[in-house]
Structure 1
Amino acid sequence: MFSQRFSATRLGARLARHLAVHRLDVWGIPYGTGISDSAASIVAELAANAVTHGRVPGRDFEVRLTLRPDVLRIEVSDARRERRPMAMDRAPDAEAGRGLGLVEALATRWSFHDRTPVGKTVRAEIDLAQG
């Protein structure tokens, strides 16, 4: 398992994506493969959402990766419980709200959960047989 906290800034979100793909490479999922690219996009979107919509001044966001033989789990947690991820029911040409559609398209499944003591976690899983 890999777990790291990042500052709730655009730089923190960018660093989260870079460190996630580096960790996957260390685990044997090379840069540029389908799984690595999908995971990078998912981490980038969820980290950007955590920074943009889940930011609480003075609080970080956390990225956790768990690799099992059959699935890669990506979790991004932020400090705002009241800001729930919205369902993908926006028009395709909308200027905002399409990011979770990308997560939905790349992940095998995704969900969100309350985090104790405060905040929420968005979880996305990629079945490794698909990549």
Structure 2
Amino acid sequence: MNQKKTIQPPPPACRFDALLSPTPRGARLARVLAVDWLRTRGLPHRVTEAAEQIVAELAANAATHGRVSGRDFLLALLAEADACVLRIEVTDTRREGLPRLRPPTPDADSGRGLLLVEALADRWGVGLGPVPRKTVWVELDLPRP
């Protein structure tokens, strides 16, 4: 008797995308939507908290430094079970002024966001393309099952 062996496909990657206005309200909405999506994935609390802070910083940067009138920014979250990684991407339409780590002056009111991202991320970077877009991406490692 031959039994057919059923092969289960790998679980699909879970993805969330949202176009948001490059305003403080859009940045807040990015954080709220990300937290809601992350909580439904059942990720560890440590990962969810780090991702919430990272999304808040990157979205605020997109609304502040990447703002171009009439052009939204894109928030993308991708949880890849096979790769055990959560990837956060924020894409805006202002290519100039690429983000880079700079030591803030002690009396500065801002300028510490990327330092926080650096501390929380396992990996992060900036990708260019297509003109005039840039994407700041962050990866957080997930525990292996």
TM-score (ref. length: structure 2): 0.82
Cα distance in 2 for partners of 1:92, 1:39 equals 26
Specify the alignment match of 1:43 in structure 2.
Answer: 55
Structure having the higher Rg: 2
Indicate the percent of aligned positions where both proteins have the same amino acid: 52
* Equivalent pairs, count: 128
Aligned-residue offset at 1:83: 1.8
State the one-letter code of the partner of 1:40. Answer: E
1:88 aligns with 2:105: no
In structure 2, list runs of 5 or more residues that go unmatched: 1-14
Q: How does 1:1-131 map to 2 (within 5 A)?
A: 1-29=15-43, 33-69=45-81, 70-91=84-105, 94-129=108-143
What do residues 48-88 of structure 1 show as CA deviations (whole Å, max 9, x unaligned)?
00000000000000000000121100000001000210223
Larger helix proportion, structure 1 or 2? 1
What root-mean-square deviation, in Å, do the aligned CA atoms of Structure 1 and Structure 2 show? 1.7
Structure 1 segments of 4 or more deviating over 6 A? none
What do residues 86-113 of structure 1 show as CA deviations (whole Å, max 9, x unaligned)?
2233346543211000000011011001
